[in-house]
Structure 1
Amino acid sequence: MSPSLEPGRMRGDNTLKLGLFGLNCSGGLTMTKAPERWDPSWENNLTAARLADEAGLEFVLPIARWLGYRGETDTEGTSFETLTWASGLLAATRGIAAFGTVHVGLINPVFAAKQIVTAHHIGAGRFGLNVVSGWNEGEYGMFDVPMLEHDERYAYTEEWLRIAQQIWSHEEPFDFDGRYFRLKGVLSKPKPFGATRPMLMSAGSSPAGRAFAVRNADCLFMSIVDIDRLPEEIAALRAATGGRPVGCYSSGHVLARRTAAEAEEYYRYVVHENGDWEAAEHIVAIRTKGSRSIPPERMLELKERHVAGIGSFPLVGSYDEVAATLKRLSDAGIDGMAVGLVNYIDEFPVIRDELLPRLERLGLRRPVADRPESEDA
């Protein structure tokens, strides 16, 4: 039996939880040549994480990236390794959770389990694990690791995760004889912090990916394609869990201004005037490899969405409009959003001073001053 989960902000009672997404990577979620685009220096990461911590956000979530997306900007070509990154941020913050994103095919589960426990202790239980089965064949080639067939990757991931969970819970040495791993006398100490275990997050839009997340994840990270169908999709996911509590999370790129016109003008500047469309061509080609013929208008939409936010959901408009969209997502069943910003420091006042008060008035979040101290533990 795995140890129970810690409380903390990710288990707090804000109806809609919020986090920063992709700040460990150059450009964050935006493929733009605009000079204010995100520079992922350690000092900038630390500043952004502390701003999010002080504002009461629940988490920071990194992207595990080994190769960038080329073009002039090579978005995500510069990135911090996520377990080390999360450990550093956890040591420098008080209440926010930090996730590590791990490509399970590239790291042995025995080694990773100890790294994860180390981060969990540094954060006094605030570390979470985002489990990734992998999709970028070029990255696997860097490691001389063959990429398994799509659905088999999730079978491999499940076995990997089962080993890690046994390492976290077993007090005596154990052997493991599986399809992908044959291990002898496995034992690792310390165990996760305070008789708890790291929160598990998983993304996957395919049937195999969703099935894995439904069986294993505490937070299911999903893409939003059609907001009108979202309530039905989330209801089906929750039904599939058989009553096991699973949070439904998604990602979005925030570009909000006082008025819709100002937001549209800045969006045009960031995306259409300064977008790195060569990089967008590259990433869309990778992500649609093997897909059936896609209509030209759909391809153009995909490229624009990747320039604006690496394919995440657009949260573009006036402060009131973006807050209303977040309310609609919450009403549909979304429990949390991981968001990208053109610049996580310069744009953070939009989150803190404009969106958070509106979300509080909509009943989706409580003011930081009203939050129990235990949520920062």
Structure 2
Amino acid sequence: MPRTTPVSTNGDQQHRSKRVKTTESVQTNGALPAAPETNVFTPAKPLDFNQDPNRVLFAYWVPNVSGGLVISKIPQKTSWDLPSNVRYAKTAEDNGFEYALTQIRFTASYGAANQHESVSFSQALLHNTERLKVIAAILPGPWNPAVVAKQIASIDNYTNGRIAVNIVSGWFKGEFTSIGQWWLEHSERYRRSNEFIRALKGIWTAGEEGFTFGGDFYQFRDYHLAPKPLQKPHPEIFQGGNSDDARNNGAEVSDWYFMNGNDLDGFRDQIADVKARAKKIGREEHVRFAVNGFVILRNSEEEAIKVLQEIQGKADAEAVNAFRDAVQQAGASTGNKKGMWANSKFEDLVQYNDGFKTKLIGTKEQIADRILLLKSLGVTLVLTAFLHYEEDIKKFGKEVLPLVRQLEAEGRGKDADDEIKRTGEIYRKE
């Protein structure tokens, strides 16, 4: 039987460092009451060129923290304030982007002195858009799954089913300790995230009997949430990482697995490995893959590379080195030494999530070809970031996205061997 007796908790002080078997029980018997007519979920119609169900999807990082998406002193036409971000969101959805991802920081980090909170910022963007789905980043520890489940269910109702979550297990020790949260070991952080996601799903989908869960980090007994989210079975759940722990979570509980930039072998290994883990438990068809990529779109490859070199040449060296020390220390604590930044060099880390490695740098034709290669490997969503948000989002939407759709209609992006022959050399290990 699951443990249902509430335990006294103080943050994560009651966690068990020793692995303990977790049991859960989700009560789903009994019909749910009919939703009022005003809560009927009718997804917004996508733009005409986003009708193919097998299309690659596009998202962008929301710059809701200061400093942009590079740790560089290069001038950027990007702002972290809400009015600017509303413009970026409207531009994005008008030009074919279907997702946006807000960032979560509770305190200043490397190059990001100011930060707007992710869930409230996501709701503000959703209030000002019609089709865009916004992914709110959530950090287990500071948040309890009951609070998140309630917030997201309400926002889902307000916005006609356009909210999702990204569960971030955490790499920034100072972010936890500065607000009185225990800094768990790597495997324990991911085990907590696994419970967190299972709790979210259970709360969102439980029937009339309510949700009961006996875990090492979270406990519920006969918990009822109303109203439920409009999206069925529940809002989409994203999570990422490169360690065995992250890959297991991707296979076991999340809907989407985020990957950092990588080389060709790295992408293929991650996708094949997570799929194999998911297949063992019958979830191979339930996990989709997303990749981070920093876009530098110019009229020539030479011009784009010059911009990249300027970004890296003007890197905030002190901030990049501090970031490198923090993330590589976190990665070294993993069982397989495969943290997200285990193989990242200084110039890679100028972009937080190894976005330069994804090679979306060049002409519209080069970038489109590389996106289709990623699609052929199993990537369904490309998460983009830009130097000058307002103009670069629009340029990407006007030039690259329609070209990708045209090439998809011609049958491109399905044959990995063919796509590798066309453009795979750019992804070989350096």
> What SS does the aligned partner of 2:398 have?
helix
Question: Does residue 332 in structure 1 map to residue 332 in structure 2?
Answer: no
Aligned to 1:375: none
Question: Does residue 214 in structure 1 map to residue 257 in structure 2?
Answer: no
Query: Does the C-alpha gap of structure 1 residues 310 and 234 become closer, same or farther in structure 2, counting only changes over 3 Å?
Result: closer
Q: CA RMSD in A?
A: 2.8
Distance 2:86 2:410 in 1: 24
Query: Does the C-alpha gap of structure 1 residues 354 and 11 become closer, same or farther in structure 2, counting only changes over 3 Å?
Result: closer
Which residue, 149, 152, 156 being the options, matches 2:188? 152
Aligned residues between the structures: 356
Asked if the contact 1:98/1:128 (under 8 Å) is kept, the reply is yes
CA apart distance, 1:235: 2.9
Return the index of the structure with the highest Cα Rg: 2
Matches within 5 A, 1:155-304: 155-170=191-206, 171-193=208-230, 195-242=232-279, 243-272=284-313, 274-289=314-329, 302-304=345-347
Distance 1:266 1:336 in 2: 25
Asked if the contact 1:14/1:365 (under 8 Å) is kept, the reply is no
- Aligned AA for 2:114? T
Aligned to 2:393: 348
Q: Which blocks of at least 5 consecutive residues in structure 1 are unaligned?
A: 367-377
Question: Does residue 23 in structure 1 map to residue 63 in structure 2?
Answer: yes
Question: Does residue 361 in structure 1 map to residue 398 in structure 2?
Answer: no
Distance 2:102 2:89 in 1: 11
Matches within 5 A, 1:78-117: 78-117=114-153
Kindly, what percent of the aligned residue pairs are identical?
24
- Aligned AA for 1:151? S
Query: Does the C-alpha gap of structure 1 residues 224 and 262 become closer, same or farther in structure 2, counting only changes over 3 Å?
Result: closer
Aligned to 1:77: 113
Give the TM-score normalised by structure 1.
Answer: 0.86
Asked if the contact 2:294/2:360 (under 8 Å) is kept, the reply is yes
CA offset digits 1:340-367 (Å, max 9, x no partner): 001211212321222112212221799x
Q: Which blocks of at least 5 consecutive residues in structure 2 are unaligned?
A: 1-25, 33-40, 412-430
Aligned to 1:373: none
Question: Does residue 323 in structure 1 map to residue 368 in structure 2?
Answer: yes
- Aligned AA for 1:197? H
CA apart distance, 1:290: 6.1
Asked if the contact 2:153/2:229 (under 8 Å) is kept, the reply is yes
Deviates more, 1:203-212 or 1:282-291: 282-291
CA apart distance, 1:126: 1.3
Distance 1:208 1:48 in 2: 34
CA apart distance, 1:183: 3.6
> What SS does the aligned partner of 2:345 have?
helix
Greater relative contact order structure (CA < 8 Å, 6+ sep)? 1
